[in-house]
A and B are shown apart, each in its own frame.
Chain A
Amino acid sequence: MAAAVANGDKGFEVPKLEIKFTKLFINGRFVDAVSGKTFETRDPRTGEVTARIAEGDKADVDLAVKAAREAFDHGPWPRMSGFQRGRILHKFADLVEQHTEELAALDTVDAGKLFAMGKAIDIPGGANLLRYYAGAADKIHGETLKMARPCHGYTLKEPVGVVGHIVPWNYPTTMFFFKVSPALAAGCTMVVKPAEQTPLSALFYAHLAKEAGVPDGVLNVVPGFGPTAGAAISSHMDIDKVSFTGSTEVGRLVMEAAAKSNLKPVSLELGGKSPVIVFDDADLDMAVSLVHMATYTNKVDLSDYPAVPSEIMCTSTICSKFSSILHINSAILQGEICVAGSRIYVQEGIYDAFVKKASEMAKKSVVGDPFNPRVHQGPQIDKDQYEKVLKYIDIGTREGATLVTGGKPCGENGYYIEPTIFTNEEMSIAQEEIFGPVMALMKFKTVEEAIQKANSTRYGLAAGIVTKNIDIANTVSRSIRAGAIWINCYLGFDPDAPFGGYKMSGFGKDMGMDALEKYLHTKAVVTPLYNTPWL
């Protein structure tokens, strides 16, 4: 038994939860699907049905797009000032905060996310993102231009129109606000398809948006499945932009559908196989903690890990108490995160010691009910993912990787898996995205070798570097072909820090002022100048 399983531990309270919203949200109203169909959303702790949700498909997407189109072409949203939109987003943020407990519980029953982290991080983080973009809505600047002829030129940044957002299940709240907040600030209208595994919080947010004053038709939420509702969004002739977060395979389908329909611009935030590179000069205990959290989960309570100096955890996590919106705790929950530090390269001088300590830490990790505040790691999202992770563990073993710890399911029911560590050189578990609590540990000798290995992947989402040496840190930062580099920390997410991938991890940025660009068109306006005193 690698990890303590806290399933039998009943010393905590599961909040009573009423599921209020199960229908599609179109044009400001909750409605049944045109087909009348529904689907089940299940509690990953038990595999039991939580609620039956209206199942949107093409007909519903059409209705939602029609509402969004009308709201964009004739409604008040793009016509009010950025400041006024910002005021509504601030109100929205306040409402989200007021419902923190309920929303965190929704994400926990829907996605198996740690309840305590949802309350402390995910939900306040959503409010933080809304406030960030509320403050950005009146700061969208065009430019006046330096023309080569006697002309006056300037650019207008215009909202792109109707946006389709397709969001994943791994962090329903955070992903929802990654997409929706900047698009709302820019003045767009939108149709959001949450993942079929996790529709609950998105519907709740639609309700709160309306309460905050977002006009009808601006934000529509259509739960449903990828091949039906998702495909309808991607190929819709009246959607002006699609923003997708999910797997690389599905990202390809989204882009293809966009190309085949109206050539709508696409932004994709896809899979990763992100390296964490630990150099010889690293503080070993800090490095082990950082890698542990980068791969599996994070501690709610640092006192569980007395060896870790708190300031390192603090810097390594961008101190949740203050700023972070998307904290590691919620983010890498159960290893289900696109930026999981799933390839760990450790320099040879500290390799053996590192493996030993990492394995000890994995064994101490408590797996169990995510409502339990003593638990570090909850269940995988669903049966499919659970089985896929176990299959990769099996492949790793068969390909000759050394299983250091874990490798088995745990608990009697639900989708719990032990924190698992493999060591070895070339293995397919070091190439493919597992999306589970599986760490692949490998050895390297030189900086050049580390860079070469880190880059030998079709992904380029993120990377971690653990070193005290400024030259190594700077060189490796520029050399790694990835969209986010975290030095002596991991999951350095921040509302102001743009996030998005290189290579087959996608294109386009979420967060920061860069994310607004996805939802804006640039228009150049030129007119001749007469008798101008300067050019």
Chain B
Amino acid sequence: MAARRAASSILSRRPIPRPVAASSIGESALLGAGSARGWLPGALHRFSSAPAAAAAAATEEPIQPPVDVKYTKLLINGNFVDAASGRTFATVDPRTGDVIAHVAEGDAEDINRAVAAARRAFDEGPWPRMTAYERCRVLLRFADLIEQHAEEIAALETWDGGKTLEQTRGMEVPMVARYMRYYAGWADKIHGLVVPADGPHHVQVLHEPIGVAGQIIPWNFPLLMFAWKVGPALACGNAVVLKTAEQTPLSALFVASLLHEAGLPEGVLNVVSGFGPTAGAALCSHMGVDKLAFTGSTGTGKIVLELAARSNLKPVTLELGGKSPFIVMDDADVDQAVELAHRALFFNQGQCCCAGSRTFVHERVYDEFVEKSKARALNRVVGDPFRRGVEQGPQIDGEQFKKILRYVQSGVDSGATLVAGGDRAGSRGFYIQPTVFADVKDEMKIAQEEIFGPVQTILKFSTVEEVVRRANDSPYGLAAGVFTQRLDAANTMARALRVGTVWVNTYDVFDAAVPFGGYKMSGVGREKGVYSLRNYLQTKAVVTPIKDAAWL
């Protein structure tokens, strides 16, 4: 069956023009890299079709990453140290399943050491006591260093996470620098209100750093999640213990070393590589941690919140899963809608919490949309993420790889129509064919659960009221896409969808100033923008009587 599809895809192959929608997405859109196809015609030469490309990528030798792994130890109190237990774990190249490096494996004892260092840095160290302008300068220098080491950082990120180099080098690393500059600019603009009182009182509000923040980041965007978490925490004057995902420990260690080079005092940022049940749980239940921020699955998010409740009631920010609707109205330019919906789902191998994973298409354009989505998926270039022109690398690891294929099977079993993909790509590593299901029904598992892979599910609708109801009928509420030129429909849906972000005629715009986070079981709190600062600040009201007040 896979072979038959491969043949048909060669027949249906067409040059992909630079998508029109690209301009409306803007330079800062994460999806910008998709347009790389437009300026890399060579890609189409090498890979005449997606499955063929995947097969080629999997049979040819992987490209040697142009970077050495320099840091594999835990970063505690400004020093790279072994784990207390002396143990290490392997981090694996998802292209091959081969070991990249053995990394020190932090557990509860290392978290204790890291929290002690952070506690000292916060309680006695210079960081919260220096001026905001000085903190700002450290973050600005950090941004400069990231740019100076961009090639190295991007290569590490691609190697460890299987993300295309075009994406990490072209977008993600520059965005980390951009986020850092954004938060640097906030450091000296954190304002409390002076508050009117009912009587003769002078009332002012101080926003103080909250203390030691524990942060747990996922493997799908290691560097960007580092920036989202560490940037605002540091700008506000906090100390941090960061636990990276065990799949992707490398880039955070590298950039954390740059942050120290930029002048960060020791102990302010500690990075502990390790696993959730050991290091992660220790951080969540630690009595010396004042705040938790977690990005990951909804299941793990529940555990994080529970551990916080059972220990010291530390406040928790959660950015969790999603099953985000992408709604295409009948007035849509179908070609543009197909391209945007494609990118909304397939970006980053489909490993996005906000992936547009329920593609709702109006019945009047449905058939055309499905046909064109299929063609686009079949043309998606799968291969070694270090190779120019490749759009899709491998999934992160064997576990995810198998889980996605189980979902594909479930889609077939439940009666959805498999119109593209449906199998692994190649014979080595964790590559999966871009997969599209049509005729998907709301009650199917693939329309309800987060697949976190390159599997698009297309559903049909007929009215705005109906699609809003169905889109909202989900335990998740992270994001939504609305594709229409009709102002009134756009405004109605923007308010009616119970989600944290609505992208209208665009998707995956992740500007530093735009708040991001979920409704319902997609999370608690917001990251980015001015809203992110609230996660890392305490609010203190200072009240004193005022005698003979000239005014109140």
Residues on A lying within 8 angstroms of B by beta carbon are 81, 83, 86-87, 90, 128, 131-132, 134-139, 141, 152, 322-323, 447-448, 451, 470-471, 474-475, 478-479, 495-496, 513, 527-534
Contact of B151 with A by CB under 8 A:
no
When the two chains form the complex, which single residue of A139, A141, A470, A479 contacts B186, counting CB atoms closer than 8 Å? A139
Q: Once the chains bind, are A529 and B495 in contact (CB under 8 Å)?
A: yes
Q: Once the chains bind, are A132 and B188 in contact (CB under 8 Å)?
A: yes
Contact of B487 with A by CB under 8 A:
yes
Contact of B131 with A by CB under 8 A:
yes
Closest 6 CB pairs of A and B: A135-B185, A479-B550, A323-B131, A478-B550, A322-B131, A533-B496
Hey, which chain B residues are within 8 Å of A136, CB to CB? 185, 189
Hey, which chain B residues are within 8 Å of A131, CB to CB? 133, 136-137, 140
Q: Once the chains bind, are B189 and A135 in contact (CB under 8 Å)?
A: yes
Hey, which chain A residues are within 8 Å of B513, CB to CB? 138-139, 141
How many residues of chain B have a CB within 8 Å of chain A? Answer: 39
Q: Once the chains bind, are A530 and B488 in contact (CB under 8 Å)?
A: yes
Hey, which chain B residues are within 8 Å of A137, CB to CB? 185
Q: Quick one: which of B233-257 are within 8 Å of A by CB?
A: none
Q: Once the chains bind, are A83 and B181 in contact (CB under 8 Å)?
A: yes
When the two chains form the complex, which single residue of A81, A128, A448 contacts B133, counting CB atoms closer than 8 Å? A128
Given contacts A135-B184, A323-B131, contact A475 B492 (CB under 8 A): no
Bound CA–CA A349/B28 (angstroms)? 65
What are 12 A-B pairs with beta-carbon distances under 8 A? Answer: A83-B178, A135-B184, A135-B186, A139-B185, A152-B495, A474-B202, A474-B546, A475-B548, A475-B549, A495-B133, A531-B465, A531-B492
Hey, which chain B residues are within 8 Å of A495, CB to CB? 133, 188
Hey, which chain B residues are within 8 Å of A534, CB to CB? 495
Look across to chain A and name the residue whose beta carbon is closest to the beta carbon of B182. Answer: A138
Q: Once the chains bind, are A135 and B495 in contact (CB under 8 Å)?
A: no
Bound CA–CA A139/B531 (angstroms)? 12
When the two chains form the complex, which single residue of B132, B185, B186, B188 contacts A86, counting CB atoms closer than 8 Å? B185
Bound CA–CA A534/B497 (angstroms)? 11
Q: Once the chains bind, are A471 and B547 in contact (CB under 8 Å)?
A: yes
Contact of B205 with A by CB under 8 A:
no
Q: Once the chains bind, are A532 and B133 in contact (CB under 8 Å)?
A: no
Contact of B410 with A by CB under 8 A:
no
Given contacts A131-B136, A135-B189, A474-B202, contact A152 B491 (CB under 8 A): yes
Residues on B lying within 8 angstroms of A by beta carbon are 28, 130-134, 136-137, 140, 178, 181-182, 184-189, 191, 202, 464-465, 487-488, 491-492, 495-496, 512-513, 530, 544-551
Bound CA–CA A533/B497 (angstroms)? 9
Hey, which chain B residues are within 8 Å of A152, CB to CB? 491, 495
Given contacts A83-B512, A90-B140, contact A134 B549 (CB under 8 A): no
Q: Once the chains bind, are B130 and A322 in contact (CB under 8 Å)?
A: yes
Q: Once the chains bind, are B185 and A478 in contact (CB under 8 Å)?
A: no
- Known interface pairs A137-B185, A496-B132, A532-B491; 13 further A-B residue pairs with C-beta atoms within 8 A, sorted by A's residue number: A83-B178, A132-B188, A135-B184, A135-B186, A138-B182, A138-B185, A138-B512, A141-B530, A475-B546, A479-B548, A495-B188, A496-B188, A529-B488
Q: Which of A323, A448, A471, A531 has the most CB of B within 10 A?
A: A531
Nearest CB of B to A79, in Å: 13
Given contacts A135-B189, A474-B202, A474-B546, contact A530 B492 (CB under 8 A): yes
Look across to chain A and name the residue whose beta carbon is closest to the beta carbon of B187. Answer: A135
Q: Once the chains bind, are B544 and A470 in contact (CB under 8 Å)?
A: yes
Q: Once the chains bind, are B547 and A474 in contact (CB under 8 Å)?
A: yes
Bound CA–CA A230/B492 (angstroms)? 52
Bound CA–CA A32/B181 (angstroms)? 39
Look across to chain B and name the residue whose beta carbon is closest to the beta carbon of A93. Answer: B140
Nearest CB of A to B294, in Å: 27
Q: Once the chains bind, are A135 and B136 in contact (CB under 8 Å)?
A: yes
Nearest CB of A to B321, in Å: 24
Q: Once the chains bind, are A322 and B134 in contact (CB under 8 Å)?
A: yes
Q: Once the chains bind, are B188 and A532 in contact (CB under 8 Å)?
A: no
Q: Once the chains bind, are A527 and B185 in contact (CB under 8 Å)?
A: no
Given contacts A86-B181, A322-B131, A470-B544, contact A532 B189 (CB under 8 A): no
Bound CA–CA A136/B134 (angstroms)? 16
Q: Once the chains bind, are B547 and A532 in contact (CB under 8 Å)?
A: no
Look across to chain B and name the residue whose beta carbon is closest to the beta carbon of A470. Answer: B544
Look across to chain B and name the residue whose beta carbon is closest to the beta carbon of A529. Answer: B491
Q: Once the chains bind, are B546 and A134 in contact (CB under 8 Å)?
A: no
Bound CA–CA A470/B546 (angstroms)? 9
Q: Once the chains bind, are A496 and B185 in contact (CB under 8 Å)?
A: no
Q: Once the chains bind, are A532 and B544 in contact (CB under 8 Å)?
A: no
Hey, which chain B residues are within 8 Å of A90, CB to CB? 140, 181
Bound CA–CA A323/B464 (angstroms)? 55
Nearest CB of A to B533, in Å: 11
Hey, which chain B residues are within 8 Å of A451, CB to CB? 550
Hey, which chain A residues are within 8 Å of B551, CB to CB? 478
Hey, which chain A residues are within 8 Å of B136, CB to CB? 131, 135
Q: Once the chains bind, are B178 and A478 in contact (CB under 8 Å)?
A: no
Hey, which chain B residues are within 8 Å of A470, CB to CB? 544
Q: Once the chains bind, are A532 and B185 in contact (CB under 8 Å)?
A: no
